[in-house]
Structure 1
Amino acid sequence: MSHVVGIDLGTTHSLVAALDGAGRPTLLTNRLGQRLTPSVVGLDAEGRLHVGESARTQLLVHPERTVAEVKRRMGRDLPVTLGDRRYSPTEISALILRALREDAERALGGTVTEAVVTVPAYFSDAQRQATKDAGELAGLKVERLLNEPTAAALAYGVDHLDAEQYVLVYDLGGGTFDVSVLEMFQGVLDVKASAGNNQLGGSDFDQLLAGWLGAQFERAHGVSLAGNLAAQVRLKAAAESAKIALSSVDAVPVLIPFLAPGRGGAPASLEVEVTRARFEGLVTDLIRSTLEPMESALRDAKLSRKSIAEVVMVGGSSRVPLVRQLVAEYFGREPRAGVNPDEAVALGAALQAGLKTGAMSAARGIMITDVCPFTLGVEVQASAGRERVGGVFSPLIPRNTTVPVSRTETFATTVEGQRSVEIRVFQGEGRLVRDNLLLDEYTVEGVPPARAGAEKVAVTFTYDINGILNVTTRVVSTGKEAVLVVDKRSQRLGPEQRTEAKERLAREWGTAPAPTAPVSASAPATTDSDALLAAAVDRLASAPASVRPRLEALCNDLRAAREKGDRVAAARLDAELTDLLFDLG
């Protein structure tokens, strides 16, 4: 039996969900029995690929063979190096999707060949195309990309079908921020406007706090950690743990033993207390920067703050108290409670998968619309008195137009005897193309030579429900057409490259380790001593005071045994350390 699932392909974590027998969306667990799978890919010393918890553990000790937060590289020509292998961001995302697909098949007891995958509302066309390519490489048919705030609204709206109200979804994840304004009425979720920043998220909070922690180490030991990749990774991991803890406490100790050599060359540790006030002082400007997209979305939807009946906050970073405080102050009331920030997007994707297959339509009668988040248009020349000025942006599809949509504009030639027309496609809100993002360009040949302005070229933009743009040009006098799928080929894998990549990833994925038995989320996911030590060191800061001396002693003894080459002692200490970590849970 084949299943269609919903996937939240996140910056920090990814989730997969499906409808249960009662037609309710439910999250599926991975091979470790966990709902959240870290969006981390690693290559171990034996050349095996890891995805998820084991890769995240490896990141602490072998960052040169591990990659995280690849979502931020999607749609850009930024290759990823894992050891001696090179991958594109699309291929890394494909490995994550493949792991999720296999986990879903294990949980559902059948094959999974199709998925609804969510993307930030403010993802560009190139980023959306790259996400669809990743699905193809993972063996998934991705006919529908669903904007993350829309998915979250669907998860919320399925239990409020009788409500007639405006809802604002504030989605602050690990690497992206989106806000969408929707109208709900009679089972319809109508997206009115979206705005956001696809380079803002909790990872930026972690980076600022990690920078502060690094400065404290340098102040204490007189050594800069700049350029020390291993230390930087451990600082960021400690910063993330502290950030999470500070959502429920006012201060948290950060202890990172043996972080780097000190001034005299001996291993030096970092031990410092981080207060919530300190953390908030570091991130206030970033959090306040989310106000402008909210205001922009409300303006485009032609609504006031008072018009919004419910504010739904999703994305793990929305748990930061200062974020909720800012949103509460902005709207004059507390945001909606009862929505799981981590899970809402995946659950909404599963509902959309159910709508697509027909499993939801008869029983629920839900319908959703979405919008184009950017203005799309072409470069033209404009008259300025007797002069003609180039580089002017002529919009065809204004931002927040309901999709799917098709718009046509007709343009005239500008040069005597002109035989071709160059079409340059941009997205953005600037009056001049230099202030916008070039999506693609091509040349239309076969224009009959005539006086300037005599020949006309009709340009049609078709923006589909997945947020992917097709451009058609037609020479009016001859009917000759040219079609462009805007896909930034320089940043995508071509058809042959996709075939080769799919085969290569399948071969390399075949060397991945077999599934392991479920373990505690904080227990090590591998018995490799490096990863085990990293997990133990990471656990030191939060271990009970009564256990911390023994845990630290075991770490020191294991290092010493390995340095001496005493395999018997190392194996015994490995076992003791593993048992202690499992006991801690």
Structure 2
Amino acid sequence: MIVGIDLGTTYSAIAYMDKEGNPQIIINSEGGRTTPSVVMFEDDGTVVVGEIAKESSIISGANVVEFIKNEMGNPKYRFRCSNGKEYTPEEISAFILKKLKNDAESFLGAEVNKAVITVPAYFNDAQRKATQDAGVLAGFEVLKIINEPTAAAIAYGMENRLDDCHILVYDLGGGTFDATIVYYSRNNIIVKATDGIRRLGGHFFDQEIVNFVVQEFNKKHNIDLYDYKYVDILQELNKKAEDCKIHLNARKETFIPISCHGARDRIRITRDQFNSLIKNLYERTERIVLNTLKDAKLTWDDIDKILLVGGASRTTYIRERLRELSGIEPSAEINPDEAVAMGAAIQAYMMDKASESVDLERNQVIDVCSHGIGIITLDALTNRHVNTVIIERNTQLPARASRKFYTSEEDQEIIKLQVTEGETEEVEYVNIIGTFEIEIPRGLSKGSEVEIEVVVDENQIVHVYTRILSIQDFFKEIHINRKSNLNSKEIVKKKDLISRTAVM
């Protein structure tokens, strides 16, 4: 069986296509349609994922890890358990994926071995590769990594027969935000522009509530709940803050009970106070939305609908501010928590050889390059190294572009290529995704023309072609494999270990 997976910061979901060709969410072993992205390591070696792990964080915090998505692609991060064992972000995400895989196999009564997994649109090359590696460690053949807003657009496009229509996907999840503008034609879903922010979402709304409650409690009782000795109370407060956020969508006020060191209180928080707390966070998303409109060369008059995706997009304040900004009533026609997984399942279904004969309403998804791709060059005027972007961010895929450069020395023997990902000229702010040395024929004079062509394919894999224009037959092709924090031996070893680990 083949599935689509939304590997979320706070919650994850998995979906499949039924016999009628409709996407369906898979119910987990606890009866839920989403699974908390929380992992707990037991002393006996068992790994617990989901609601039980989340609830246990209050009493077993040292062995519980949350929000691991924020560390994907970080080669230095390790989660250390109380027994001294350490785990990489890829391994922790793999345990979440294995839990989803186990639940899917129980639900469907069949082996589940292929998946399309989603990531935020802003994820860079290293983060995408880390996600792919996590899927492999969990026992999946990862068919494709696709952007979350694109997946949501696929799901919405299947639900609705749209033609000549622009939609803004406002994707505010537990820990990430993406804005994407999609154009629907009769047969295609075309991404026009996308942008996003890491570390912004519903979890950060919760933290604003926590800060408010801690300050109010301290004012009344002179007790600082941020003191380490109250860590258990603070962890419990985090859970209450999430409930408070949800309650304030339906109520004008709510109360959070706190008991600490003999002091008991019910801290009142109103919807207006909550709105004030998250105002700056919302406005960061608004700037991204406006930049995305600008990149797509569109105005609000061109947008037919705003599609809300991600659990935090349910927030009443978000809907109100978006309506004020755009003049458009935001829509949650598809479940914000499930749209991404269902879109990934549709994409997986479209890629599966067994379903080639199935006629889906939309037969092609055209995405964009999430980041600029370029090379580091020497600026002859300033004599400093700069990043030269060859393919701009939000260029439609597949993308192809070339630039001419010049050899810097007489009789130069080697061209050193550092291929980058990023939009700025400043070298320190871009990611180097590949470094190569190309031997060139001797005898070239200084200033000989070298053409560098960059191609980014539909899977956002980068290919670089080098030509020396004065030498007819000189042509070099470089295929850039995504950088992995794990080598092939480590992947085999860790995959075997995870396959033998009981995940509940």
1:428 paired residue number: 422
User: Percent of counterpart pairs with the same letter?
Assistant: 35
1:495 paired residue number: 488
2:393 paired residue number: 399
1:524 paired residue number: none
Query: What letter corresponds to residue 403 of structure 1 in structure 2?
Result: L
1:280 paired residue number: 275
For residues 303 and 276 of structure 1, do their structure 2 counterparts lie closer, same or farther at Cα, with a shift above 3 Å needed?
A: same
Determine if contact 1:471/1:486 at 8 Å carries over to the other structure: no
1:204 paired residue number: 204
Query: What letter corresponds to residue 234 of structure 1 in structure 2?
Result: E
2:78 paired residue number: 79
C-alpha displacement of 1:312: 0.5
Looking at structure 1, the residues matched to 149 and 388 of structure 2 have their Cα atoms a distance apart, in angstroms, of 29
The aligned runs of 1:540-559 (5 Å cut-off) are none
C-alpha displacement of 1:54: 1.1
SS at match of 1:255: strand
SS at match of 1:143: strand
Looking at structure 1, the residues matched to 313 and 282 of structure 2 have their Cα atoms a distance apart, in angstroms, of 10
2:412 paired residue number: 418
2:186 paired residue number: 186
The aligned runs of 1:558-573 (5 Å cut-off) are none
C-alpha displacement of 1:108: 1.1
Query: What letter corresponds to residue 89 of structure 2 in structure 1?
Result: P
2:374 paired residue number: 377
2:49 paired residue number: 51
Single out whichever of 99-108 and 410-419 deviates more from structure 2: 410-419
String of CA shifts for 1:3-27, please: whole Å, max 9, x gaps. 1101111111101101112111010
Looking at structure 2, the residues matched to 473 and 50 of structure 1 have their Cα atoms a distance apart, in angstroms, of 50
1:483 paired residue number: 478
Determine if contact 1:166/1:183 at 8 Å carries over to the other structure: yes
For residues 54 and 337 of structure 1, do their structure 2 counterparts lie closer, same or farther at Cα, with a shift above 3 Å needed?
A: closer
C-alpha displacement of 1:49: 0.8
SS at match of 1:60: coil
C-alpha displacement of 1:247: 1.1
For residues 464 and 130 of structure 1, do their structure 2 counterparts lie closer, same or farther at Cα, with a shift above 3 Å needed?
A: farther
Unaligned runs of at least 5 residues, structure 2: none
SS at match of 2:277: helix
Looking at structure 2, the residues matched to 89 and 302 of structure 1 have their Cα atoms a distance apart, in angstroms, of 37
Looking at structure 1, the residues matched to 44 and 435 of structure 2 have their Cα atoms a distance apart, in angstroms, of 46
- Answering whether residue 503 of structure 2 is matched by residue 506 of structure 1, we say no
Q: TM-score, normalised by structure 1?
A: 0.80
String of CA shifts for 1:302-361, please: whole Å, max 9, x gaps. 111011111111100001111111111111121124221111111111111111126376
Query: What letter corresponds to residue 439 of structure 1 in structure 2?
Result: I
- Number of equivalenced pairs: 496
Query: What letter corresponds to residue 142 of structure 2 in structure 1?
Result: V
Q: TM-score, normalised by structure 2?
A: 0.93
C-alpha displacement of 1:80: 1.5
Looking at structure 2, the residues matched to 106 and 138 of structure 1 have their Cα atoms a distance apart, in angstroms, of 16
C-alpha displacement of 1:277: 1.3
Determine if contact 1:444/1:473 at 8 Å carries over to the other structure: no
Pick aligned residue for 1:247 from 235, 246, 249: 249
Looking at structure 1, the residues matched to 380 and 310 of structure 2 have their Cα atoms a distance apart, in angstroms, of 47
1:579 paired residue number: none
String of CA shifts for 1:163-198, please: whole Å, max 9, x gaps. 321111110000111111111111311111111112
Query: What letter corresponds to residue 158 of structure 2 in structure 1?
Result: V
Query: What letter corresponds to residue 404 of structure 1 in structure 2?
Result: P
Determine if contact 1:128/1:468 at 8 Å carries over to the other structure: no
String of CA shifts for 1:1-53, please: whole Å, max 9, x gaps. xx110111111110110111211101010111111100000012433210111
Determine if contact 2:80/2:86 at 8 Å carries over to the other structure: yes
Determine if contact 1:128/1:467 at 8 Å carries over to the other structure: no
C-alpha displacement of 1:380: 1.2
Query: What letter corresponds to residue 128 of structure 1 in structure 2?
Result: R
Structure number, greater radius of gyration:
1
Looking at structure 2, the residues matched to 157 and 303 of structure 1 have their Cα atoms a distance apart, in angstroms, of 20
1:462 paired residue number: 455
The aligned runs of 1:252-331 (5 Å cut-off) are 252-258=254-260, 262=261, 267-331=262-326
Looking at structure 2, the residues matched to 451 and 349 of structure 1 have their Cα atoms a distance apart, in angstroms, of 51
1:575 paired residue number: none
Looking at structure 2, the residues matched to 298 and 361 of structure 1 have their Cα atoms a distance apart, in angstroms, of 37
Root-mean-square deviation (CA, aligned residues, Å) is: 2.1
String of CA shifts for 1:387-429, please: whole Å, max 9, x gaps. x532222111111111133434343211234332332233332
Query: What letter corresponds to residue 232 of structure 1 in structure 2?
Result: L
Unaligned runs of at least 5 residues, structure 1: 514-585
SS at match of 2:495: helix
2:38 paired residue number: 40
- Answering whether residue 166 of structure 2 is matched by residue 172 of structure 1, we say no
2:130 paired residue number: 130
Determine if contact 1:62/1:230 at 8 Å carries over to the other structure: no
For residues 65 and 227 of structure 1, do their structure 2 counterparts lie closer, same or farther at Cα, with a shift above 3 Å needed?
A: farther
Query: What letter corresponds to residue 311 of structure 1 in structure 2?
Result: I
The aligned runs of 1:434-445 (5 Å cut-off) are 434=428, 436-445=429-438
C-alpha displacement of 1:281: 1.1
Higher helix share: 1
C-alpha displacement of 1:273: 1.2
SS at match of 1:350: helix
1:453 paired residue number: 446
Looking at structure 2, the residues matched to 498 and 104 of structure 1 have their Cα atoms a distance apart, in angstroms, of 23
Looking at structure 2, the residues matched to 463 and 105 of structure 1 have their Cα atoms a distance apart, in angstroms, of 35
1:235 paired residue number: 237
1:364 paired residue number: 360
Looking at structure 1, the residues matched to 408 and 202 of structure 2 have their Cα atoms a distance apart, in angstroms, of 49
Looking at structure 2, the residues matched to 271 and 344 of structure 1 have their Cα atoms a distance apart, in angstroms, of 36
Determine if contact 2:418/2:434 at 8 Å carries over to the other structure: yes
Looking at structure 1, the residues matched to 451 and 171 of structure 2 have their Cα atoms a distance apart, in angstroms, of 38
Single out whichever of 370-379 and 232-241 deviates more from structure 2: 232-241
Single out whichever of 161-170 and 436-445 deviates more from structure 2: 436-445
SS at match of 1:226: coil
For residues 270 and 418 of structure 1, do their structure 2 counterparts lie closer, same or farther at Cα, with a shift above 3 Å needed?
A: farther
Looking at structure 2, the residues matched to 92 and 306 of structure 1 have their Cα atoms a distance apart, in angstroms, of 44
Looking at structure 1, the residues matched to 59 and 460 of structure 2 have their Cα atoms a distance apart, in angstroms, of 39
Query: What letter corresponds to residue 459 of structure 1 in structure 2?
Result: I
Determine if contact 1:161/1:185 at 8 Å carries over to the other structure: no
For residues 438 and 319 of structure 1, do their structure 2 counterparts lie closer, same or farther at Cα, with a shift above 3 Å needed?
A: same
String of CA shifts for 1:371-394, please: whole Å, max 9, x gaps. 01221111112343xxx5322221
SS at match of 1:393: strand
C-alpha displacement of 1:119: 0.9
The aligned runs of 1:97-108 (5 Å cut-off) are 97-108=97-108
For residues 460 and 364 of structure 1, do their structure 2 counterparts lie closer, same or farther at Cα, with a shift above 3 Å needed?
A: same
Query: What letter corresponds to residue 68 of structure 2 in structure 1?
Result: V
Looking at structure 1, the residues matched to 263 and 466 of structure 2 have their Cα atoms a distance apart, in angstroms, of 65
